[in-house]
Amino acid sequence: MRRTALLIALLFAAACSPAESGDITTSQASSTTVVETTTTSAQTTTTDSNGFPVVVTDANGEVTIEDEPRRIVSLSSTATEMLFAMDAGDQVVAVDEFSVYPGEAPITELSGFTPDLEAIVEYEPDLVVISYDPGELVSGLSVVGVTSLLLSTAASLDDSYAQIELLGEATGHAGEAEDLISEMQIGIDRILAATVVPPGISFYHEIEPTLYSASSSSFLGQVYALLGMENIADEADPDGFGFPQLASEYVVSSDPDLIFLADSSMGVTPDSLAERPGWAEMTAVQGGAVAILDEYLASNWGPRVVELLQSIADAVTTLAPVT
Amino acid sequence: MSDQGAVPAVGPARIGRGSWLLAVVTLVVVGIAGVLVGSVAIDPTSALKGLADGLPFISLGSGLSEVQERVLFEIRLPRVVIGGIVGSILAVAGAGYQGVFRNPLADPYLLGVAAGAGLGATFVIGAGGGSGFIPPVAFVGGLLAVLATYVLGRTAGGRTVTSLILAGVAVAAFATAIQTFLLQRNYETLREVYSWILGRLVTVGWGEVLVLLPYALVAGAVLVLHRRLLDVLALGDDEAAGLGVDVVRVQRIVVVAATLATAAAVSVSGLIGFVGIIVPHTVRMLTGWSYRLIIPLCLLYGASFLILADLVARTAVAPAELPIGVVTALLGAPFFVVVLRTVRGSQ
């Protein structure tokens, strides 16, 4: 039921999202130099425990984190997953209404999309992590002296890794963040090694019933691209926007080998696909090569991308036509 | 015609034949273009042969592949037909409203139809209902809003047209406020509602044609039959009453017909703006002020306009789609200005 990430990318962050998230880099090098010159006891600076203050670069530019955050508020479900996966969960005091994973996250009624400054400040945060700023959230927080990090929708796995690295730096868990990244990479490599993708396989991923799809310019599309399948949405997205709305006749004539649904909560099922005009005779619809994806997994860009890739790989293994 | 004497010559009656021909030819050309052009390339000759094959007693052997046939007959053709019907309804309803309310800015969404239908659609989408539920609930929402407008207008200000329009504004604002509230509570559904608000013909098929056709036929017939009475209304209430016309009854019939048809159109296609304003005014500028011509010509040009707009929506960024509401506004507004300047210039 939650596809806010894609939604926001589509509605609000259209052109700037890939560029913005591409800008996110941890300025680990510069921050350590700063630390090294200011600290007299030399070699302990690179450990996780206390390298503060650190300077990181989020979508808005450089942000200085003065001290290790103890009261983090996360208004991004992806950031929540990242924080808990790198053992920074103890420092998190509140997460937004859509951060349903992991279960131990202190979920609240805070909203990431119509954020209420007063309600956020009530948790007395020393760091607020968001994935979307409707206009004056970051500036509003800085007025009341709260540091915030804007981690926009990722456009690639590298963006996701960069955000994990950044959060690790910012929360004093740089080492765990590195471990998490290599864990993800190993998981992904393992799945890729174990999955046989028949050559020339094409697929269609549906975000919602009016045929919005995800091209390879989106994070989701990048995950699919790992498996080397042909994404029929790519031809409809020459500008790299990420989420084109496809023409029905284009989908039908492309006749993809596999269909992935991320809109089953909106009543779309393999059977209802067959009721669409002209769709019943499509190879994938007739052959039952339609997989339902977890919409929550498919709209986040956190560590559980490995699970998403696994479910896609499983579908490819069981449903793809044998050549 | 026997009542010709009763109706003063409001517009140039003799333009008639040429206007008809032009309107019909335009519709045929645009309709054929709509079927021939799409994101999937189909050889025009084969496509035309394929279309002809669809007619009884004709077999030309189009050489279309099975996929191309499905694209042509199950996706493109119904979409062109729906576009035509929706365009006709919106244009003729706009003309009807403008006639009844004697207000050039009246449009098919005036009495709260759009806001009510939008609220209905938002409700379905927000509740996680399948998209199949959107049309009926949007239809009911549109009708309830108009009913509220009517009751409110009657209780507030008696029978005057102004009180009705003001009531419509109030109802629309109220429904829009609830819709915004629901959207704020369900961000995840924002985009689907959004794409509905901008109009969607993406996944329509013959089923929608069957839903829409009865409303279109009834509303079209009612408005065409009342076209002369609209000319009489244009003279003013007292003058019309003096000529033996039951003004309130005519107003009510026209509004009910136009509203029903608009609600049906909106429920299938989403909110497509501008058609109900641009088409009637363009027709008026081209042919004069007589509803005897305006109403039927709106049926034809409304269809042409929306088929053309949908053609652009489907092909401008093919194989991706643009929201048709964006196209009608982008195409319609400048076109409207050009027509306005041309007509002014020649006068």
Element (H, E) at A57: strand A54-58
Q: Domain map of chain B by residue range? A: 80-346
Task: Give the pLDDT of residue B289.
Answer: 81
Q: Is B8 helix (H, G, I), strand (E, B) or coil?
A: coil
Pair B277, B331: CB distance under 8 Å: no
Shortest Cα distance, chain A CAs vs residue B126, angstroms: 9
pLDDT tens for residues A167-192? 999 999 999 999 999 999 999 999 99
Task: Give the pLDDT of residue A15.
Answer: 35
In chain A, the percentage of residues whose pLDDT exceeds 90 is 65
Report the distance separating Cα B163 and Cα B137, nearest Å. 27
| Cβ separation B321–A245 shorter than 8 A | yes
Q: Note the ipTM here.
A: 0.70
- Interfacial residues of B (vs A; Cβ cutoff 8 Å): 38-40, 66-68, 70-71, 74-76, 78, 125, 128-132, 184, 187-188, 190-192, 194-196, 200, 202-207, 314, 317-321
Task: Give the pLDDT of residue B326.
Answer: 86
Question: CB-CB: which of B76, B195, B319 is closest to A236?
Answer: B319
Report the distance separating Cα B133 and Cα B234, nearest Å. 40
Q: What mean pLDDT do residues A75-81 have?
A: 96
What's the whole-model pTM score? 0.76
Task: Give the pLDDT of residue A168.
Answer: 96
Q: Is A230 helix (H, G, I), strand (E, B) or coil?
A: strand
Shortest Cα distance, chain A CAs vs residue B328, angstroms: 18
Pair A52, A173: CB distance under 8 Å: no
Phi, psi for residue A61 in degrees, rounded to 5:
130, -160
Mean residue pLDDT of chain A comes to 84
| Cβ separation A212–B206 shorter than 8 A | no
Nearest to A78 by CA among A307, A308, A303: A303
A215 in contact with chain B, both atoms CB, cutoff 8 A: no
Asked whether the predicted pLDDT for residue A2 surpasses 60, the reply is no
A202-206 β-sheet, strand order: A230-231, A202-206, A258-261, A290-292
Q: Extract the tokens encoding B276.
A: 């109900």
Shortest Cα distance, chain A CAs vs residue B267, angstroms: 15
Best of B191, B208, B322 to mutate (most A CBs within 10 Å, chain A) = B191
Report the distance separating Cα A26 and Cα A168, nearest Å. 9
Question: CB-CB: which of A10, A11, A211 is closest to B203?
Answer: A211
Q: Report the chain A residue with the minimal C-alpha distance to residue B310.
A: A247
Asked whether the predicted pLDDT for residue A151 surpasses 90, the reply is yes
Residues of B in contact with A10 (CB under 8 A): 191
Residues of A in contact with B67 (CB under 8 A): 252-253, 255
Cα separation values, B8 from B11, B223, B257, B296, B344, Å: 9, 20, 26, 19, 24
Phi, psi for residue B319 in degrees, rounded to 5:
-85, 20
| Cβ separation B191–A276 shorter than 8 A | no
Find the DSSP H helices in chain B: 16-36, 44-54, 66-70, 77-101, 113-126, 134-157, 161-185, 190-197, 206-225, 227-233, 237-242, 247-269, 275-287, 291-315, 324-346
A286 in contact with chain B, both atoms CB, cutoff 8 A: no
Task: Give the pLDDT of residue B159.
Answer: 61
pLDDT tens for residues A225-275? 999 999 999 999 988 889 998 999 999 999 999 999 998 887 789 998 998
Return the residue matching tokens 């002014």: B344
Q: What mean pLDDT do residues A197-207 have?
A: 94
Q: What is the pLDDT along chain B (347 residues), one digit of tens a residue?
A: 344 434 444 444 455 678 889 999 999 999 999 999 888 888 888 888 888 877 766 777 767 788 888 888 888 899 999 999 999 999 999 999 888 888 777 888 878 888 898 898 888 877 776 666 777 888 889 889 988 988 888 887 666 777 888 888 899 999 989 988 887 777 666 666 776 777 777 777 888 888 888 888 998 999 999 999 999 888 888 888 888 888 888 888 998 888 888 888 888 888 888 899 889 988 988 888 889 999 999 999 999 999 999 999 888 888 888 888 888 888 888 877 887 787 666 65
Best of B194, B314, B321, B326 to mutate (most A CBs within 10 Å, chain A) = B321
Residues of B in contact with A265 (CB under 8 A): 128
The more confident residue out of B241 and A41 is B241
Q: How many beta carbons lie within 10 A of that of residue B133, not counting itself?
A: 16
Task: Give the pLDDT of residue B205.
Answer: 83
Question: CB-CB: which of B66, B70, B131 is closest to A209?
Answer: B131
The more confident residue out of A43 and A217 is A217
B334 burial class (0-12, 13-18, 19+ CB within 10 angstroms)?
Answer: exposed
Q: Extract the tokens encoding A81.
A: 């997953």
Q: Of 1.10.3470.10, 1.10.1370.20, 1.10.3720.10, 3.30.9.10, which CATH number belongs to B80-346?
A: 1.10.3470.10
Cβ-Cβ contacts under 8 Å for A180 (sequence gap 6 or more)? A82, A85, A86, A164, A168, A303
Report the distance separating Cα A216 and Cα B80, nearest Å. 31
Report the distance separating Cα A33 and Cα A39, nearest Å. 10
